Amino acid sequence: MRAVLLGTAAGGGVPQWNCACPGCRGARAGRHPARAQDCLAISADGASWYLVNASPDIRTQLLGCPALAPGPGARETPLRGVLLTDGELDHTTGLFQLKEAGGLTVHAPEPVLTTLPARAVLAPYARWDWRIAGSGELGGLRVDVLPVSGKRPKYAADAPGTWVVAYRFTDPATGGRLVYAPCLAGWPFGFEEFCAGADVVLLDGSFHGSAEMSGATGGDVGDPAQRAMGHLPMAGPGGSLRKPRPPGARLLYTHLNNTNPVLDESSPEHAAMRAAGAELAPEGAELVL
């Protein structure tokens, strides 16, 4: 199994175009890497690839990944489909830039499929197959799906159901296992079992603390408002750094918000994360499992 970290930032990327917080200033000054918006490419054989989420940066991400280059035919592409973890704009608007593709299959939680704006807009352009995300075989990999939360995107009407999921990919040939969970409102029931035996866990790293946005941007986004965004912080009493993890698994934080102080490798927050045995997902890296 091959997995390429095409993007590792939260919505807006790092730096964000309209932001001069310390994290964005640091990226502009080259003190830490710039990061594109969250997206993963995964393949069992290196020939057929699937995207997990389709970020607004998808064109640049695809052009920067040799494994996803088209050919040998004029319109041949190794891209076979997309799996969505949720319906947020930073995970779905890249679908519009894939309108030239033919025959893609898009998997998503059922409420997302029924409300996703891209589906209606793309209907005249692309004959795609839209499916409810579920466990099964996909391109030579075993895919398992875990319901994560009912946090819906702002554009969607309130409706019950699972709006956010996590994915586990297993390569039956090698036994390699990867868990992808870039959006966690809390610690989901059964998540520890879901991650058991994983070689790599890519986890929601949007925020280090529970009210960091107000401190980093000078705004009035306090603890309750930040929690409402649906991202479990890394630190604190209920933070993900304090949760159990599979023995021997590599824990990589992705979906990093521009306000997260761990972006600065010289920060005490970064040092504490490393001391806890976790890392930042390296932008553009390929994992072979």
Residue showing tokens 């998503």: 108
Residue 89, pLDDT above cutoff 60: yes
Q: CB within 8 A of 154, min separation 6: which ones? A: none
Comparing C-alpha atoms, which of 34, 13, 159 is closest to residue 93?
A: 13
Q: Which pLDDT tens digit goes with each residue over 20-70? A: 999 999 999 999 999 999 999 999 999 999 999 999 999 999 999 999 999
Look up tokens 């699937």; give the residue. 50
Does residue 68 sit in helix, strand or coil?
helix
Question: With pLDDT > 70 as the criterion, what percentage of the chain qualifies?
Answer: 94
Which residue has tokens 């939260």?
10
**What dihedral angle (degrees, nearest 10) is formed by the CA atoms of 172, 176, 182, 183?**
60
Question: For the purposes of burial, counting CB atoms within 10 Å of the CB of 157, is it exposed (0-12), middle (13-18) or buried (19 or more)?
Answer: exposed
For residue 49, the 8-state DSSP code is: E
**Model confidence band, residue 157 (pLDDT cutoffs 50, 70, 90):** confident
Q: What is the pLDDT of residues 186-216, one digit of tens each?
A: 999 999 999 999 999 999 999 999 878 765 5
More confident residue, 230 or 200: 200
Please choose, from the candidates 165, 175, 180, 166, the residue with its C-alpha nearest in 3D space to the C-alpha of residue 4: 180
Q: Which domains are present in the chain?
A: 2-288 (3.60.15.10)
pLDDT digits (tens, 9 = 90+) for 117-136: 999 999 999 889 999 999 99
Q: For 245-271, give one letter per residue: b (16+ CB within 10 A) or e.
A: bbeebbbbbbbbbbbbbbbbeebebbe
Which residues neighbour 148 within 8 Å (Cβ) at sequence distance 6 or greater? 85, 162, 164, 165, 166, 181, 183, 184, 185, 188
**pLDDT-based confidence at 229, cuts 50/70/90?**
confident
How far apart CA 111 and CA 158 sit, in angstroms, is 10
Q: Note whether 221 and 213 are within 8 A (CB).
A: yes
Cα-based distances in Å from 271 to 21, 25, 31, 74? 20, 20, 16, 48
pLDDT at 218: 57
Lowest mean pLDDT among 116-130, 157-171, 224-238, 243-257: 224-238
Q: For residues 172 and 205, give the distance between their C-alpha atoms in angstroms, rounded to a whole number.
A: 29
Confidence of residue 217 (pLDDT cuts 50, 70, 90): low
- Label the pairing between strands 105-108 and 79-83: parallel
Residue 219 has pLDDT above 80, yes or no: no
Mean pLDDT computed over 170-179: 98
Alpha helices in the chain (DSSP H): 22-28, 58-63, 89-92, 110-115, 117-122, 191-195, 212-217, 223-227, 268-275
Least confident of 5-9, 49-53, 157-161, 240-244: 157-161
Do the beta carbons of residue 231 and residue 285 sit within 8 Å? no
pLDDT band (50, 70, 90) for residue 288: very high
- Per-residue confidence at 252, pLDDT binned at 50, 70, 90? very high
* CA-based end-to-end distance of the chain: 5
pLDDT of amino acid 237: 87
What does the pLDDT read at residue 126?
85
Whole-number mean pLDDT of the chain?
93
d(CA 232, CA 285): 24
* Reported pTM: 0.94
What DSSP string describes 110-168?
HHHHHH-HHHHHHTTT---EEEE--SEEETTEEEEEEEEE----TTSPP--S--EEEEE
Q: Which residues contact 73 (CB under 8 A, 6 or more apart)?
A: none
